[in-house]
Amino acid sequence: MSDRGTPTMSLLLALPELSDDLLGEAFLRLPPDDPACLLRASLACKRWRRILADPVFRRRHRELHRTPSVMGFLCFAEGDAPYASRFVTNNPASGGRPAARDLPGRHVLDCRHGRVLFLAPRPSLGTELSYELVVWNPLTNEQRCLPRPSPPLMDVAGGYFNAAVLCSAAMEGCDHSMCHGGPFRVALAWGHGLVMHARVYSSEKDSWSEPISVQHPRRMLFHPMLPYPSTIVGDTLYFHYSLKYALEYQLGAQRLSIIEEPPRQVPKISAFFVRPMGEDGLGCMDVEEDETSLRLQLWSREAAGSDSDGVAGWTKGRAIDLEKLLPNGALPSPRWTSVPSSRLSSVQLLGFAEGTDVIFVGTWACNHPRAVYMVELDSGRARKVFDKCNLVFPYTSFCIPVTDASSTTEGPGDNASGGA
């Protein structure tokens, strides 16, 4: 598409000379989930590029569009050993960063606040393979290898662990619009026997904290931590510990707790922790089935009351009909499924983009993945974004992809910037 290929920009170019303020107001109304519009505007002329690169415009853009855009997602690349991940861009036409790419030797663990956390083989002169944690910034392509925790990663519970990356200012109310290049933390959680452990890495100190521990209150034997993405609410991280329990890690207080997850219609079907838009508490989402439909069921965790023995509980909330949400033919027809719960196993939650209303749903047939759909819960829009994967780690950003204001070229180049 040409630089003048959208109706909005064609109209702007046809109008008499507008002031910078009026042009800025028009640019603010361009769709934030389509960075290609802003990129084409920045390439139209040097004056437009200067307006879009202005820090005042960028601040107003963030204030108007408070919800970050889902720029893409990371998933595991199948068929590559021992580890490989893939970044899938949400809008290939954007022309800026981050671009779609394969990431061999990288096993994605988490993605949050403009950073991605990987497990990667550690260079070694010996024959024994070891691993390290690597934090990657997709916008700048910078990466940082973390010092090895003790015990080493593959020695903690036989390699069963999970980890999360987050902005260092998350506990101070950062809006995460400009922090992707700043200091960060990595929380590591693992279990052994009846005890769960956790510790946190600080990029400012370049060191790990002392580990803290909690024993399972039901004296339940250790279960391998599930590899699903964590969720953060305030200064508290939540990791799926098993199909019934979760680990609550309060970063400020450095306190660990084990909580129960909501009851599930089918125990083996996984759920995802979510933080609903506009709400401060923890939510959870899973897939349920009745005689007529498949639905997404939302749960909210209620604070402990005076009559609840001091234990917080789960309350059912909104239910969303998947039959109406996904395109026709995405789910098997009830008349073709005679085995109980066979339709329930044909759909799976794959990911949730924090701070947005976007989820990722995968459809399955005969135990093989068929398609991945990105779903906007508020609008009900759904579209296919990938063929198959087992988990999705969404990448969000307040993105204004403009070229350098001093550039004299008219085409996109390597100096494109994507962070706002």
Q: What is the mean pLDDT of residues 27-33?
A: 77
Give the pLDDT confidence score for residue 74 in this predicted structure: 93
Which tokens hold the place of 364? Answer: 């399955």
Fill in the amino acid letter for 298.
L
Query: Is the pLDDT reported for residue 83 higher than 60?
Result: yes
For 257-266, what is each residue's pLDDT tens digit?
A: 989 888 876 6
Query: Is the pLDDT reported for residue 408 higher than 50?
Result: no
For 135-162, what is each residue's pLDDT tens digit?
A: 998 878 889 999 988 776 665 545 578 9
For 175-217, what is each residue's pLDDT tens digit?
A: 656 666 789 999 999 887 678 899 999 999 999 999 999 987 7
**Which residue would you say has higher pLDDT here, 168 or 367?**
168
Query: Is the pLDDT reported for residue 335 higher than 60?
Result: no
**Which residue would you say has higher pLDDT here, 63 or 326?**
326
**Which residue would you say has higher pLDDT here, 91 or 376?**
376
Q: Is 324 exposed, middle or buried (0-12, 13-18, 19+ CB in 10 A)?
A: exposed
Q: Is 264 exposed, middle or buried (0-12, 13-18, 19+ CB in 10 A)?
A: middle
Fill in the amino acid letter for 242.
S
For 218-257, what is each residue's pLDDT tens digit?
A: 665 556 677 788 999 888 999 987 778 889 999 999 999 9
Which tokens hold the place of 166? Answer: 């987050």
Spell out the domains of the chain, with CATH numbers in brackets: 26-66 (no CATH), 67-302+313-397 (2.120.10)
Q: What is the DSSP string of 184-252?
A: EEEEEEEEETTEEEEEEEETTTTEEPPPEEEE-TT-PPP-PPP-PPPEEETTEEEEE-SSSEEEEEETT
- Following CA atoms 296, 112, 394, 299 in sequence, which dihedral angle do they give, to the nearest 10 degrees? 0
Give first-to-last CA distance, the chain, whole Å: 24
Half-sphere exposure of 211 (CA within 13 A, CB side): 14
For 96-138, what is each residue's pLDDT tens digit?
A: 557 778 888 888 999 999 899 999 887 766 666 778 899 998 8
Q: What is the mean pLDDT of residues 15-43?
A: 78
pLDDT bracket for residue 2 (50, 70, 90): very low
How much of the chain exceeds pLDDT 70, in percent?
A: 69
Look over the chain and give the mean of its residue pLDDT values, rounded to a whole number.
77
Angle (CA) 92-278-386 rounded to 5° is: 25
- The whole-model pTM stands at 0.80
- Low-confidence winner among 1-15, 66-80, 105-119 (lowest mean pLDDT): 1-15
Fill in the amino acid letter for 140.
T
**Which residue would you say has higher pLDDT here, 168 or 343?**
168
